[in-house]
């Protein structure tokens, strides 16, 4: 939790804010998960949160295999921070509004604290990125997906039609990390 501090004469007094209620937590989780959902005929996105662990999902509609888990990141929110990437590094996301025939896109840059590694599950229909380590995922008995590990990564959500979803996701993520996952950024 982020400490709130005031100066009183020569003394600096700090205190943690009171914990939010269970109802507040459920509302915040719902806000983050709702902001992470979007879909079109080609791609679907979702995020889940449970006990400070976030899992992101991208499903892609492929010609020969139908809907496939294309990409999934799994990480502890207290160990991963949103990086400023927007215009002039003013926001932790970059939003490109939709144009006729082109879906909108939101990109979030994330970085692991202390160079820790984040698990990234990918479909075998994709070529591995140049990393020094991959291993089969248990999904599909290890034949359909593999794991890679990264210390910085991007979550790209295509089909976003509203910048408000990007704001809701980033502000919700930061608040969740600070208030529920003991991250003091």
Residue 126's domain spans which residues?
Answer: 36-180
Condensed to tens digits (0 to 9), the pLDDT of residues 78-93 reads 999 999 887 777 888 8
* CA 123 to each of CA 8, 102, 119: distance values in angstroms, whole numbers, following the listed order: 57, 24, 13
Structure token pair of residue 44: 């679907």
Q: Is residue 16 part of a domain?
A: no
Give the pLDDT score at 3: 45
Q: Is residue 106 part of a domain?
A: yes
Report the share of the chain in percent with pLDDT over 70.
86
Q: Is residue 30 part of a domain?
A: no
3-state helix, strand, coil in the chain (%, to 5): 25, 45, 30
Domain tally, the chain: 1
- Lowest pLDDT segment from 31-40, 79-88, 154-163, 174-183: 154-163
- Answering whether pTM is above 0.75, one says yes
Residue 158 pLDDT class (50, 70, 90 cuts): confident
Condensed to tens digits (0 to 9), the pLDDT of residues 40-55 reads 888 999 999 999 999 9
Q: Is residue 136 part of a domain?
A: yes
Condensed to tens digits (0 to 9), the pLDDT of residues 122-142 reads 999 998 887 667 889 999 888
Q: Is residue 77 part of a domain?
A: yes
Q: Is residue 10 part of a domain?
A: no
Q: Is residue 103 part of a domain?
A: yes
Whole-angstrom Cα distance, residue 109 to residue 98? 20
Q: Is residue 17 part of a domain?
A: no
């Amino acid at each position: 939790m982020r400490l709130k501090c005031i100066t009183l004469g020569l003394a600096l007094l700090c205190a943690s804010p009171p914990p939010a209620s269970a109802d507040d937590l459920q509302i915040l989780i719902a806000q983050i998960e709702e902001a992470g959902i979007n879909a079109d005929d080609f791609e679907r996105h979702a995020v889940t949160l449970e006990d400070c662990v976030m899992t992101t999902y991208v499903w892609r509609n492929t010609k020969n295999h139908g809907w496939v888990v294309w990409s999934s990141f799994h990480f502890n929110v207290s160990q991963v921070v949103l990086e400023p990437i927007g215009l002039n590094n003013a926001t932790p996301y970059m939003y490109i509004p939709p144009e006729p025939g082109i879906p909108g896109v939101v990109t979030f840059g994330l970085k692991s604290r202390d160079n820790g590694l984040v698990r990234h599950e990918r479909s075998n229909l994709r070529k591995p990125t140049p990393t020094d380590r991959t291993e089969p995922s248990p999904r599909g008995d290890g034949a359909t997906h593999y794991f890679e590990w990264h210390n910085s990564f991007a979550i790209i959500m295509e089909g976003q039609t509203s910048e408000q979803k990007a704001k809701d996701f980033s502000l919700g993520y930061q608040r969740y990390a600070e208030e529920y996952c003991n991250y003091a950024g």
